Amino acid sequence: MNKADTIRALLEATFTPSLLNITDNSSMHAGHAGVRPGGETHFRVEITSEKFTGLSRIARHRLINDSLKELFQQGLHALEIHTRSPE
């Protein structure tokens, strides 16, 4: 399973999103810190979940980062996160 699939599985299990888009943007960061050959280091995540209702942007991002903590320890370097609640 590639990292995008793993990210998807973890976020779906944690947030039951009504919308979830994951894009590997690693190629856009060539030459930057954390990039590895083969990519899978920099991702864009767009997610809509009821679990974000009433939370600040920072609180939402912390929840996402906490749910992917293990992947960061395994080489995930950066996430561009866009969260929404259904409202």
pLDDT tens across the length of the chain (87 residues):
788 999 999 999 999 999 999 998 876 645 555 555 555 788 999 999 999 999 999 999 999 999 999 998 888 888 999 999 998
Q: ∠ CA 33-71-9 to the nearest 5 degrees?
A: 130
- Residue range(s) defining the domain that contains residue 9: 3-84
Q: What CATH number does residue 61 fall under?
A: 3.30.300.90
CA distance 68 to 33: 19
User: How many structural domains comprise the chain?
Assistant: 1
- Global confidence as pTM: 0.84
